[in-house]
Chain A
Amino acid sequence: SQQGEEDPQALSIQEGENATMNCSYKTSINNLQWYRQNSGRGLVHLILIRSNEREKHSGRLRVTLDTSKKSSSLLITASRAADTASYFCASLPAGNTPLVFGKGTRLSVIA
């Protein structure tokens, strides 16, 4: 079964606005990762946050991790039309079993 669940399932915003996506997971993790998928294409790794980290930045991306709530958020600032894609969180459970993906958030950025 899926370990991660993203929220919302779909998000539509105007170009220049910020987009926030949330993810919840069920068990202890070593790290949590976010991936992006353009329609019908392969997933591309965006950012990884370790279980002992609380926040991480990469360009316009900001990821937070709250292990007490078993949740993470991905913030994309100053969104662009090119950010339109599906975004998946993936948790690496303790024990290093393979990544478990959520069902993703479909982000539409309207120019």
Chain B
Amino acid sequence: GQNIDQPTEMTATEGAIVQINCTYQTSGFNGLFWYQQHAGEAPTFLSYNVLDGLEEKGRFSSFLSRSKGYSYLLLKELQMKDSASYLCAVRQGQNFVFGPGTRLSVLP
């Protein structure tokens, strides 16, 4: 079966660092993707991993361990505009299977 888990909600303070975890059990794996979605807007691509390790893109980093079925998204120097939902997705062939998303609230 397909199962992707993320925490439902997280809260952090402006300027801090937050780590959003994602665990997955899927029948196929062609990469793990992270998307950001502000309320009422399109999901936008942040980062992806296909090999184990850390990928860094500015304030955002994503980590993958395929043997553990685990990924995290790390957001540094949080800003108020980072308040959004963060979606973890596993690509299987040409399809993307999404997790439930984590709603992050950044407080002043």
Partners in one complex: no
- Which residues of A does B touch, CB under 8 Å? none
- Residues of B whose CB lies within 8 Å of any CB of A are none
